[in-house]
Amino acid sequence: MEFRSLFRTAAPVTALLVLIAAAGCDSAGSDDGGTDTGGSGADAARAGSVSKVLEALPAKIPADIKPYYEQKLRWTECDDAPGFDCTTLRVPMDYAEPGGGDLKLAVTRKQAENPGGRLGSLHVNPGGPGASAIEFMQNFAGIGYPEDVRARYDIVAMDPRGVGSSQPVKCLTNAEFEAHTQVDQTPDDEREVEALTASFDRFAQGCAKRAGDLLGHVSTEEAARDMDVFRGVLGDEKLTYVGASYGTMLGATYAGLFPQRAGRLVLDGAMDPSLTSRQLNLDQNAGFTTAFDSFAEDCVQRSDCPLGTGSAEDAGTQLRDFLDRLDSKPVPTGEKRNLGEPLATMGVLMAMYQEDFWPQLRDSLTDAMERKDGSGLLALADMYFEREADGSYGSMMYGFAAVNCIDQPPPFETPADVEKLVPDFEADSPVFGRDFAWAALNCADWPVPATGEANRIEAAGTDPILVVGTTRDPATPYVWAESLAAQLKEGVLLTYEGDGHTAYARGNGCIDDAVGTFLLEGTPPEDGKRCR
């Protein structure tokens, strides 16, 4: 299997949100990481949820922002994507001071294949944060979404500020980032704790040095406001949108800020904006454990399973023992990099995103555990980190950290904070818990202060909003979809009972039909509908 081509074209893989990445933490919540509860319904009763509701912006566009809505786009065929149009959109760097400088955001479109039946523009975002919406649209959504949707809509995408082709945040050289990915994420002593925190600090200071003022203006709320400018310039009265993974946070934030202009929104692989940072991290830790258990249950039924043929719990123990061995004795990969615990862990977690990766994970674990060949797991880790064969890296990991660290205060501020919570993480996940706990420390000394906080999003006054959740989704646990659908005044929950990250356009006819009917006719499925 050629990993790079699969990464470029597979929708579930580009819809990434992983707190354990060496470059980033999960979307953070309240600054104290406490267990406040509030609001009504089961979602608000969960530990770590907050009662504060995101307030809508005034419906009238401010006079000093209006010129951005009145700009004319000059579309030309994209140089590297025949059949797609490209241009740039001008937005203010700071919406509070729109005269203080502009940003140019890259945008693309694929015009409706049936112009006579055109319904408008369908905006797409694959998540991350930090994943390129343009790359996702040109390689997947614009050619791989169901034919009837592509016929009736212009499919459009905008790389959010600081991401992809929109003045991306950059933090380290390729060599520096490569070293960063190999730092031990499960420190065993004070020396290793210092090495990890020093690596996080180098990353953060590199972002400050290379990104400058942009680093303070890459929040989700600002990106949502950019989406409204794009909507207005395209001439659509309301936003029609499909967002996956973190893209659901972006879409839900848009609905909260602009409920009167939120049209047919599909939020697939939903995040829960009401949770504090610690609860988000704990939930995602448990989500990857649920996904691994599903993989393990399948693996142990096979005679060639490298994790044994006992129980899923036994398989988890086998994997944890193997990762611990790599901590002190990495295995060769056929290149200069050896496979140590950090990269091996990322390789395993990468394979949790979709079932299609499970055979490759079994083979890669067999090679690494029995043949001392770590090349397969390394390839999976490289896929996550957007590493090319020449050793260069994409900008996704930088955007990932920059957005998360400004959106919410950090879940942990010191190594001592992490140590106190490690038992809770390990209780949910004996295999990955310690990794997830320590990875959440990277925002602790971020060079710009967080400008956001956890909010419930109710978005009163919108059209129905379709929230899609997958029961064994590793990166966005199903409980988040339940919670978001309950928060939204017009939320409708659609459930896929299965494995993998996100559900739309992954081959399940029940899901695709329900989403398609909603996008084309405006009729959502019955709330609580389940697909298998």
| Tokens linked to 200 | 């996080």
- Residue 242 neighbours by CB under 8 Å, 6+ apart: 122, 123, 124, 125, 141, 266, 268, 504, 515, 519
| Separation CA 69–CA 64 (nearest Å) | 10
- Determine whether 324 is an active site residue: no
| Tokens linked to 82 | 């025949």
249-259 pLDDT, tens per residue? 999 999 999 99
Query: What's the domain count of the chain?
Result: 1
The DSSP code for 155 is E
**What's the confidence (pLDDT) of residue 27?**
35
pLDDT band at 30 (very low <50, low <70, confident <90, very high): very low
Type and span of the H or E element at 212: none
Mean pLDDT computed over every residue of the chain: 91
Q: What is the 3-state secondary structure (H, E, C) of 265-326?
A: EEEECCCCCCECHHHHHHHHHHHHHHHHHHHHHHHCCCCCCCCCCCCHHHHHHHHHHHHHHH
- Which amino acid belongs to residue 33? G
Long-range CB pairs of 247-250 (<8 Å, 24+ gap) are: 247/15, 247/124, 247/125, 247/126, 247/127, 248/127, 248/467, 248/476, 248/484, 249/27, 249/129, 249/220, 249/273, 250/125, 250/129, 250/160, 250/220, 250/223, 250/224
Q: Are 251 and 265 in contact (CB under 8 A)?
A: yes
265-284 pLDDT, tens per residue? 999 999 999 998 778 888 99
Residue from 137, 113, 146 nearest 513 by CA: 146
The number of residues making up the chain comes to 532
- Residue 328 neighbours by CB under 8 Å, 6+ apart: none
The mean pLDDT of 80-98, rounded to a whole number, is 97
pLDDT band at 46 (very low <50, low <70, confident <90, very high): low
**What's the confidence (pLDDT) of residue 16?**
47
**What's the confidence (pLDDT) of residue 37?**
31
| Separation CA 95–CA 473 (nearest Å) | 35
149-200 pLDDT, tens per residue? 999 999 999 999 999 999 999 999 999 999 999 999 999 999 999 999 999 9
- Determine whether 245 is an active site residue: yes
| Separation CA 375–CA 371 (nearest Å) | 11
Q: Which domain holds residue 340?
A: 1-532
295-311 pLDDT, tens per residue? 999 999 999 999 999 99
- CATH at residue 136: 3.40.50.1820
Show the DSSP H helices in 212-265 as ranges. 220-234, 246-257
The active-site residue, picked from 154, 226, 435, 473, is 473
- Which amino acid belongs to residue 6? L
The active-site residue, picked from 199, 219, 245, 274, is 245
Relative to beta strand 239-244, strand 120-125 is parallel
Give burial (CB, 10 Å; 0-12/13-18/19+) of 2: exposed
